[in-house]
Structure 1
Amino acid sequence: MSEAQRTNHKTLTKQNRKLVIAPYLFILPNLLIFSTFIVFPSLLGLYYSFHVYDGLNPMKFNGLDNYLKILTDQEFWSTLGRTGVYAVIVVPLIYAAALGIALLLAREIRMRGFFRAIFYWPTMISFIIVGLTWKWIFGDSFGILNHLLTMAGAEPVGFLTSSFWANTAVIVATVWSRAGFFMVIFIAGLQAIPTDYYEAARLDGATGTKVFRYITLPLLKPTSLLVVMLCLIDAFKAFPLMFALTGGGPGKETTFIVQYIYEIGFNRQELGLASAMSVILFILIGGFSALQFRLSKGGAV
């Protein structure tokens, strides 16, 4: 190999190294943030789950005792079941609302951007503010709805002191605050569907219902999978909105699993037990997501 060839080889090698290293440099900031705020706390929580720890005194290793204690904790399982019922109700409602709004706003209509912004706006508000806002609407003694009912001569309704109405208020507030986010995902999915399919369907005389059933829904399958998975994860980790709106009441009727873990960890100062509960919740959500992904064949159409 001549000197010129060796020089060219070295130059190409350096360029190849730069091409290999450059992408990792771009993702390094996000990787550091993800590791600091997600990976490290998760591993620390797993470590805590095998110890007795109150945040003040030294930790004491207790093996699987925390997990065994959870097996006999009836309140944990009742709270988890309550969260599951909430998820079963709220996920389809968010899905239907987001898809319905997306179908309307994916069309060429006047002020389309304005309406998209209006529906997306609630997702930009923190869950605490959403909860407090709806509390002013559903409040028993100071709520707008009860004020209107009283003005109309009707009896006030215990929206936040009745089990049924408190859960209804939580579901309404959740759908209102999350539908806009998933609307954007559905709009992106709808815009990715080739228009040729719709043109061919119109030529064949297909009605709007058949077009939606046989073209739109099947081609939205990957998007639907993503939306349902994200909704499910949101439902199982729901806490700030309920905490601000109902405080988990009346009684424990709107106390869901994350709030219960919070109470165990910070009110009762059993951080090891709370960490074990968090690990179980993580496994459950991961299992649901994996099962759903498998049943839908990875989102393939």
Structure 2
Amino acid sequence: MTARRKDKNQKWALAFVIVNMVLFTLFFAWPGVLGVYYSFTDYTGISANFIGLENYVNLFQDKSFYKALGRTFLYTVLSVPLLYVFSLLISVLLVNKYTKGKSIAKIIFFFPWLISPIVAGVIFRWMFGESFGFINYALGLIGVDPVSWSSDGNMALMVVLFATIWGGTAFNMLIMMSALMNIPKSYYEAADIDGANGWQKFMNITLPSLKPTTFMVILLSVIHAMKEFAMVQSLTNGGPGTDNTFLVQYIYQTGFDQRNIGYASAVSMVLFVILLIFALVNMKVEERSKI
């Protein structure tokens, strides 16, 4: 009986593995192979002619590509540290035994994660609209001039950062809260005996203990930021003009609006290489930190 049950469990396990391999091949590996192939063609959705490295040559001479890449890097450099700091701060407060109302606070901070990025973009577009936005209306009530949230590129990017922090904090918060609760209490008890204050315990116990989680959170945040599309598309549509057109938006516009799928595939391959390099560097730094 035990042998039959074990054999049955092995068959089920094999079935699940096969299903996952099929899904991975259909929805990840095969589209990836097609993307690589299309990047060497002039594919427009109808026909594809092999043109070698022409797309890549044109890509690295394209000022619009560099502008989108630079804006994406700026957004990533600004959003990832802010997300990390806010997530860490909220996580520390929510696991602290002296914090009151933690259950309600968890719901409040977790709720934005349940909202679609498109809906989040629409919400912030309404809040920060120049002529109809709630924020400018509130500023007008106290005698402050309206702020050009959508017509100024830098202010529009700031609104995108606000929306990113509001919507992205919850996921990082959950990961960090789990890591914080797994730190042995004996570390803090020993620090209390030695007379350490709260800041000293945070810097010498909490942060070092969170190092593996920090690497993972930063890696996931960078990947998400570099691939940001839906929220920005609904919030600014890359505007004003093309000031806040990120790389994935540029790929979308080139591939679907201009129907230059081969060129868009080349841009996608560049983005893939950038993310792969960052992931490898991040993993290498993490390995060295364990030595």
Q: Shorter-chain TM-score category?
A: over 0.9
Partner of 1:7 in structure 2?
Answer: none
3-state SS of paired residue (1:60): coil
Query: Which ranges of structure 1 fall in alignment gaps of 5 or more residues?
Result: 1-10
Partner of 1:25 in structure 2?
Answer: 15
CA distance in 1, matches of 2:213, 2:5: 39
Partner of 1:5 in structure 2?
Answer: none
Are residues 1:258 and 2:241 paired?
no
Contact in 2 for aligned 1:222/1:300 (Cα 8 Å): no
1:1-301 matches, within 5 Å, as 20-56=10-46, 58-108=47-97, 109-297=99-287, 300=290
Cα RMSD after superposing both structures: 2.0
3-state SS of paired residue (1:182): helix
Quote the offset at 1:19 in angstroms: 5.8
TM-score, length of structure 1 as denominator length: 0.90
Identity of aligned residues (%): 38
Query: Which ranges of structure 2 fall in alignment gaps of 5 or more residues?
Result: none
Q: Which has the larger displacement, 264-273 or 112-121? A: 112-121
Q: Which has the larger displacement, 37-46 or 241-250? A: 37-46
- Identify if the C-alpha distance between structure 1 residues 86 and 185 changes in structure 2 by more than 3 Å, giving closer, same or farther: same
3-state SS of paired residue (1:216): helix
CA distance in 1, matches of 2:181, 2:193: 21
3-state SS of paired residue (2:166): helix
CA distance in 1, matches of 2:163, 2:34: 33
CA distance in 2, matches of 1:63, 1:14: 56
- Greater Rg, structure 1 or structure 2? 1
Quote the offset at 1:21 in angstroms: 4.5
TM-score, length of structure 2 as denominator length: 0.93
Q: Which has the larger displacement, 103-112 or 84-93? A: 103-112
* Count of residue pairs the alignment pairs up: 290
Contact in 2 for aligned 1:265/1:274 (Cα 8 Å): yes
Q: Which has the larger displacement, 81-90 or 33-42? A: 33-42
- Identify if the C-alpha distance between structure 1 residues 63 and 183 changes in structure 2 by more than 3 Å, giving closer, same or farther: same
CA distance in 2, matches of 1:278, 1:269: 15
Cα offsets for 1:194-213 (capped at 9, x unmatched): 11111111111111111111
